[in-house]
Structure 1
Amino acid sequence: MSTNDGHQIFDPATHKPAPFRGILPEIWRYICALYLKLSGWRLQGDWPDLQKAVILAAPHTSNWDGILMLATAGQYRITLRFMGKKSLTEGPFGGIVKWLGCVPVDRSTSNGLVTSMTTAFANARDLFLAIPPEATRSRAEEWKKGYYLIAQAAVVPIVFAVMDFATKTVRISGSLKPTGDYEADWALIRSHYERAVGKHPANFALPA
């Protein structure tokens, strides 16, 4: 249901995936679903009908969060991408790193991260870029705003992925189209994560 022009809250009663993409992705989906089931995790929220989005993945307090998000994406039939240094995608193993999902970032110029990601979104047919806003597994009292600036510049929505270790639930809880008024948008973003508990609860801080 829509709560304002650019903010949506998804129904947690179902967790419908994206459309079928072929046999190999379906085998991977089965493996991911089996992993989540055996480890006691469940999903809430249908995957939105989008081709591009910034995926705001939080809380991020351990290395397990990345594995959890990859398994979640697999069950939803989605390929997640992540940001990495441009040098990682060069040289003899650069192609492999790109295949694994790395989107190269050129930090040699001012505002390089936002510019690089805006270009990546413009050149891609579909792109789901996962960003942990804390930018560290340790406690961060403030969230980095890069995810917001990228979504705003690329004109793509932010999709909220909430990894709640208290209930062992990954919630695809809603989406937001950035308005440019960060303070107003932040109140909506924050509401999706205020009850979430990280694997290491003391390492997760939700800014006021």
Structure 2
Amino acid sequence: MLQTLCKWLLYKKGGWKKDVTVSHPDKYIICLAPHTSNWDFVIGQLYMRAEGLRINFMMKKEWFVWPLGFFFKKIGGIPVSRSKHTKMTDQLADAAKSRDTFYLCITPEGTRSRNPNWKKGFYYIALKAGIPILLYGLDYKRHLIQCNKSLVPSGDIDVDMKIIKDYFKEYSGLHPDLFTTGD
């Protein structure tokens, strides 16, 4: 019932379309961009439930206060302290290696503000765990959720980040002026 409701809200009522041609293996990281609004979270949650997916996501720890903390953890949220240098990438890579399935969505901009210096934690988690990165674009102009490229990290972060950023150049966030690939 929830899946049917989410499909109706996202695709029928909201007018969104999907174009997903990349297969989803048992373990992967989703790199989602652009991230310019809190509505991205809502669209992402609707999409995930409409498609019957259960994907964890990272979110700054300040959102994990009562009563929201319980809710966000229940739907797959992982609190992140951005002020502390932790071994989160190592912990998540170890979790990915030790589990039969692992699905994690990260917005590389790390903020809804304009940020040319994307966070690279998603890349290092995938590299250390040996899992692919699925590139999901959220385009508000076309009302399109698209994933037609994946990348297995090569270890050459400069080359791989250029490929990743180039992929997202065509997408328009809800607030296009807040999105940049840094070029």
Q: What residue number does 1:60 align with? A: 35
Confirm or deny: 8 A CA contact 2:31 2:134 kept in the other structure.
yes
Higher mean C-alpha displacement, 141-150 vs 100-109: 100-109
Confirm or deny: 8 A CA contact 1:105 1:117 kept in the other structure.
no
CA distance in 2, matches of 1:105, 1:36: 28
Q: Which has the larger radius of gyration?
A: 1
Q: What residue number does 2:5 align with? A: 31
Correspondences of 1:40-51 after superposition (within 5 Å) = 40-46=15-21, 48-51=23-26
> In structure 2, what residue type is equivalent to 1:173?
N
Q: Between Structure 1 and Structure 2, how many residues are aligned?
A: 182
Confirm or deny: 8 A CA contact 2:131 2:152 kept in the other structure.
yes
CA distance in 2, matches of 1:68, 1:171: 13
- Cα offset for 1:31? 1.7
- Percent of residue pairs identical: 31
Q: Residues 144 and 33 of structure 1: is their aligned pair in 2 closer, same or farther, counting only changes over 3 Å?
A: same
Match of 1:197 among 161, 172, 176: 172
Match of 1:183 among 143, 158, 173: 158
- Cα offset for 1:72? 1.5
CA distance in 2, matches of 1:107, 1:202: 24
Q: What residue number does 1:71 align with? A: 46
TM-score (structure 1 length as normaliser):
0.76
Are positions 1:160 and 2:118 aligned together? no
- Cα offset for 1:125? 2.5
Deviations 1:45-102 (A, max 9, x none): 235141111101110000000111111222222111012578998x9x9876543202
Helix, strand or coil at the partner of 1:120: helix
CA distance in 2, matches of 1:86, 1:121: 21
Q: Residues 88 and 60 of structure 1: is their aligned pair in 2 closer, same or farther, counting only changes over 3 Å?
A: closer
- Cα offset for 1:154? 1.4
- Cα offset for 1:104? 5.6
Q: What residue number does 2:94 align with? A: 119
4+ aligned runs moved over 3 Å, structure 1: 84-89, 93-98, 103-111
Confirm or deny: 8 A CA contact 1:137 1:203 kept in the other structure.
yes
Q: What residue number does 1:81 align with? A: 56
Higher mean C-alpha displacement, 111-120 vs 98-107: 98-107
> In structure 2, what residue type is equivalent to 1:80?
I
CA distance in 2, matches of 1:191, 1:169: 18
Confirm or deny: 8 A CA contact 2:36 2:174 kept in the other structure.
yes
Unaligned runs of 5+ in 2: none
Q: Greater RCO between the two (CA within 8 Å, min separation 6)?
A: 2
Deviations 1:149-182 (A, max 9, x none): 1111111110011000111101012100000001
TM-score (structure 2 length as normaliser):
0.85
